[in-house]
Amino acid sequence: MIMVLAILAGAVTLFVTEVVRIDVAAIIIMVVIGLSGLVGADDLFAGFASNAVISIIAVMILGAGLDRVGVMRRVAAFLLRIGGKTEGRISSLISTAVATISAFMQNIGAAALFLPVAERLSERTKIPVSRLLMPMGFAAILGGTMTLVASGPLILLNDLLASTASNLNVEIEPYGLFAPTPIGVTLVISGILLFAFAGKWLLPNKAADRDAHADLPGIAAIYGLDQDIRAYLVPEGSDLLHRRVADIEAEHEGILVVAVHDGDGLTIAPYRDYIIEPGMVVGLVGDGRAVEAFAAEQGLNPVESDPFTILHDKEHAGLAEVIIRPGGDAVGNTVRELRLRELYDVTLLAVHRNGKVITDDLRQVKLEAGDVLVLFTPWGHLDNLAKQPAFVILSDYPTEPPRTNKMWWALGAFALSLSLVIFTSLQLSLALMVGAGIVLVSGVLTADEAYRAVSWKTIFLLAALIPLGQAVEDTGTAAWIAENVINAAGGLPPWGMQLVIALVTTVFTLTISNVGATVLLVPLAANVAVGVGADPAQFGLIVALAASNAFLLPTHQVNALLMGPGGYRVKDFMRAGTAMTVLFLVVLIVTVNIFV
């Protein structure tokens, strides 16, 4: 037990300090548990084949399939048509749609999908986007409480309860797909009503620091950028000859080489090791006077026939905004490590973070969740970037059309999976994988697209933490903590004990992660329930649902995603999040005791 408690303390420290990425921290913890002998070698890596992990992979693929065929876009277009002009109606419509979709796919995916929709509605109605995004984000989180496939904690629940039942030698019936639905629906409705009646006091009334859907000159003006591409010939004797693009830009801050034309054709966003040769025409972007001074200093000659005409055409290229998706692989990397030019043929002009625009020494900037990248890009190249789960594209641009001819395949696969879950005794993972298999075989998604749809960071986090939960159970640590919680809580009634469990889960969720909190606290809650003569399944459900109570701080992925576009500060989440947290806890305890 002492060893387990030490590992728990180390895990919390790694999660809170983020010395290493959260998934890397989970892998380190798993390895330490294996080396310590707390969990046998046969069980140590069983999490990667667990019912919960396979189910989450299948849910991600099914959600990506629905998005790829245009189902989500149709929902978004419908909201744009019926949105009206009043803040309450628009906010409620968006929140309802996001919560409904979050019941069957990742809440971060649902929020990312509706982010551009909310911003377009804000533009059309002149309602500050800050008054729409936070209610939408909270609804996405609340939507994850409505079904057992809506979030990682709820997908994990039955597996954790089964393990706990074995250790406690008690019978625990597994929950069905829609067991938490009455509770989740009540939580969603409560959240929507909170902002409908108290939004004017809880939400900041300000425009965002940036405008995601302005036209190109608008974006340039917001960030203080000059998007004009100036063409110069590099003659013999120029100081630029035989130099790398990276060295040129490093020595001359504010000057970017966005394109090069040589005898073989046009190169857009030349990579860092690209060598400038005589006779080439370089396309430079930067402050007009600075570019002219640079050209004179380097002995460059203006050209009469502009070879970059196509790049001036808004139908082919322009400025775009891209958010660094929370939890994605880009978080924690420097701009240099992303290799945007080499991999995607786009040029980074600026990074927008917390109201500040960073343009100096961009290659060394370490990216954070919610950062907005301002890129110069041909639209076809941006489409390649949009396929990467680490990024969320905010700007409107011509995209690859959705595979609408595959729509019924995607809907059929989704419906079949849900039917198998509801009406048969098939294991959840198998039922969902049937739908994922249909999505792949029918061509709704290619295999590569399916792999990109899966958040492997989440998968490794889940699988690697499962042995920690097992160690907490097997060594009696959960029972020992439960006994101390019971003694500390004294003579509280059952609902009081439930509230204590929910509060502890909320604290863990805000400081580590909802998955980590669930893995650690479901066994604890079940032990507490047995100790006070209550239902361990009910207490476990409280933990899985309370793991969604992440509104106080922008630590949840959805909150982090919306912080930049909404122009929010931490105090904005503290103000609205406090009200939402209190309401969530009250509604949760009441509805659990009514419906479970």
d(CA 175, CA 273): 57
Which helix (DSSP H) or strand (DSSP E) does residue 561 occupy? Answer: helix 557-566
Reported as a single tens digit per residue, the pLDDT across 218-253 is 455 555 555 578 888 999 888 888 888 888 888 888
Q: What is the dihedral of CA 383, 384, 388, 390, to 10 degrees?
A: -70
Domain boundary assignment for the chain: 2-207+414-595, 216-312, 317-393
With H, G, I as helix, E, B as strand and everything else as coil, classify residue 102: helix
The domain 216-312: what is its CATH number? 3.30.70.1450
61 Cβ partners below 8 Å, 6+ apart?
436, 439, 440, 445, 450, 453, 454
Please state the rounded mean pLDDT for residues 201-225: 56
CA-atom Rg of the chain in angstroms: 26
pLDDT at 209: 45
pLDDT at 475: 86
pLDDT at 189: 97
pLDDT at 221: 54
61-99 per-residue burial string, b: 16 or more CB within 10 A, e: under 16: bbbbbbbbbbbbeebbeebeeebeeebeebbbbbbbbbb
293 Cβ partners below 8 Å, 6+ apart?
none
Q: Higher pLDDT residue, 86 or 173?
A: 173
d(CA 544, CA 157): 7
Of 29, 125, 91, nearest in space to 460 by CA: 29
Residue 150 in contact with residue 41, Cβ under 8 Å? no
CA distance from start to end of the chain:
33
Q: Residue 483: which pLDDT band, with cuts at 50, 70 and 90?
A: confident
174 Cβ partners below 8 Å, 6+ apart?
158, 161, 162
The domain 317-393: what is its CATH number? 3.30.70.1450
Residue 58 in contact with residue 429, Cβ under 8 Å? yes
Reported as a single tens digit per residue, the pLDDT across 29-85 is 999 999 999 988 888 898 888 887 888 888 889 888 888 888 876 776 677 677 666
Lowest mean pLDDT among 145-149, 217-221, 310-314: 217-221
Q: Beta 372-378 vs 356-358: how paired, if at all?
A: unpaired
Token pair listed for 293: 């001074």
- Tally of CA atoms within 13 A in the half-sphere of 402 that contains its CB: 16
Percent of the chain residues past pLDDT 70, beyond the cut: 93
In Å, what is the CA distance from 259 to each residue of 98, 281, 292, 377, 383? 40, 8, 17, 10, 19
Q: What is the dihedral of CA 588, 161, 509, 88, to 10 degrees?
A: -40
Q: Residue 187: which pLDDT band, with cuts at 50, 70 and 90?
A: very high
Q: Residue 591: which pLDDT band, with cuts at 50, 70 and 90?
A: very high
Q: Residue 212: which pLDDT band, with cuts at 50, 70 and 90?
A: very low
Number of helices (H), then strands (E), belonging to the chain: the values are 27, 10
With H, G, I as helix, E, B as strand and everything else as coil, classify residue 123: helix
User: Is the fold of 216-312 the same as that of 317-393?
Assistant: yes
User: pTM for the complete prediction?
Assistant: 0.74
Q: Residue 27: which pLDDT band, with cuts at 50, 70 and 90?
A: very high
Write out the DSSP string of 491-511: T--HHHHHHHHHHHHHHHHHH
Sign of CA dihedral 526, 529, 530, 531: positive
Residue 465 in contact with residue 515, Cβ under 8 Å? yes
Reported as a single tens digit per residue, the pLDDT across 392-433 is 888 777 666 778 889 999 999 989 998 998 888 888 889 999
